[in-house]
């Protein structure tokens, strides 16, 4: 089995160098990208790992690699680490249904298997992988898990059931000032709370919920989020927040530093997925 990735997902390759297929990339004068696969992949199982976060060229490169693998006669196993544009679902945003468009493009080439890691809009696909063990240490240390909004409800409920943890779910009223409401009667006083979600960008949801939860006098409040789109301007807000720690995975890498920020390596989970594919083939 061979493994390769687009440039946006290169940092997630853990396997032995001999398993990684060599990819040649060339930039033309007009900035167009040429991609070619150097190694012979005909009649081989190939795991293609991609992130499709902006810029859009990450998606383009993923599509180029898919087409190359098909034309070279490989058996393709596609794993999408972070699916860019998946947040733009028809319920929340006006305009193009971008999530579906991106998924249609990725599924244009027939593959042996197709999996997506913690996709934001799980209603778009049934190929969603939830890595329950990703934040296992943080989950086991928590007394109560918290879903910050309706979008995170199913995810947090599944984690809570798996680890036999109580959980509370909040409803988020969007606007300039986020308001939260919850119907649970769980006593949070002197409890260790863990807010869980799939994506963090501006940090507003998690930080504002932590502020609200702090009014109920818990022992500590932490958060664990799979995909981090945070920028440098979020760090200051994080430092002054009610959170003790914010745990994120490295699906998109991380160049930020904060005493309250800790990165959890998702690569062992990905390696397990690849090993499972290898056993099946």
Q: How does pLDDT run across 103-141, given as a tens digit for each residue?
A: 899 999 999 999 999 886 656 666 788 899 999 999 999
**Cα–Cα distance measured from residue 183 to residue 170, given in angstroms and rounded to the nearest whole number:** 8
Q: What is the mean pLDDT of the chain?
A: 89
- Identify the pLDDT of residue 98: 83
Closest CA to 82 of 109, 112, 113, 106: 106
Strands 192-200 and 220-228 turn out to be parallel
Q: Is the pLDDT of residue 183 over 90?
A: no
- Identify the pLDDT of residue 274: 86
Whether the model pTM is above 0.85: yes
Q: How does pLDDT run across 76-109, given as a tens digit for each residue?
A: 999 999 998 887 765 555 577 788 888 899 999 9
User: Coil, helix or strand for 66?
Assistant: helix
> Quick one: average pLDDT of 55-62?
95
Q: Under CATH, which architecture does the 2-130+269-280 domain have? A: 3-Layer(aba) Sandwich (3.40)
What are the boundaries of each domain within the chain? 2-130+269-280, 136-265
**Cα–Cα distance measured from residue 133 to residue 128, given in angstroms and rounded to the nearest whole number:** 15
- Identify the pLDDT of residue 151: 84
**Topology (CATH) of 136-265:** Rossmann fold (3.40.50)
- 2-130+269-280 against 136-265: fold identical: yes
The stretches of 21-143 forming alpha helices (DSSP H) are 57-71, 98-106, 136-141
Residues in contact with 162: Cβ distance below 8 Å, sequence separation at least 6, in sequence order:
132
229, 201 in Cβ contact below 8 A? Answer: yes
């Amino acid at each position: 089995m061979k493994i390769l990735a687009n440039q946006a997902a290169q940092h997630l390759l853990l396997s032995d160098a001999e398993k990684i297929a060599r990819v040649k990339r060339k930039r033309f004068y007009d900035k167009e990208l040429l991609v070619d696969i150097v190694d012979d992949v005909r009649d081989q199982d190939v795991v293609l790992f991609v992130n499709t976060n902006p810029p859009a060229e990450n998606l383009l490169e993923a599509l180029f690699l898919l087409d190359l693998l098909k034309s070279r006669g490989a058996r393709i196993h596609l794993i999408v680490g972070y699916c860019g544009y998946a947040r733009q679902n028809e319920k929340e945003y006006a305009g193009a249904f971008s999530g579906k468009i991106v998924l249609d493009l990725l599924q244009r080439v027939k593959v042996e298997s197709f999996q997506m890691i913690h996709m934001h809009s799980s209603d778009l696909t049934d190929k969603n992988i939830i890595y329950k063990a990703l934040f296992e240490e943080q989950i086991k240390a928590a007394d109560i898990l918290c879903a910050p909004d309706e979008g995170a409800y199913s995810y947090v409920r599944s984690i809570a059931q798996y680890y036999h943890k109580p959980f509370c779910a909040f409803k988020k009223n969007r606007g300039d000032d986020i308001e939260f409401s919850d119907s649970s009667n769980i006593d949070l006083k002197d409890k260790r709370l863990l807010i869980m979600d799939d994506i963090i960008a501006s940090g507003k949801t998690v930080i504002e919920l932590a502020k609200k939860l702090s009014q109920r006098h818990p022992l500590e409040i932490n958060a664990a989020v799979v995909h981090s789109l945070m920028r440098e301007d979020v760090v200051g807000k994080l430092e002054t927040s009610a959170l003790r720690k914010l745990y994120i995975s490295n699906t998109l890498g991380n160049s930020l530093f904060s005493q309250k920020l800790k990165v959890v390596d998702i690569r062992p989970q990905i390696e397990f997925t690849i090993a499972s594919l290898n056993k099946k083939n």
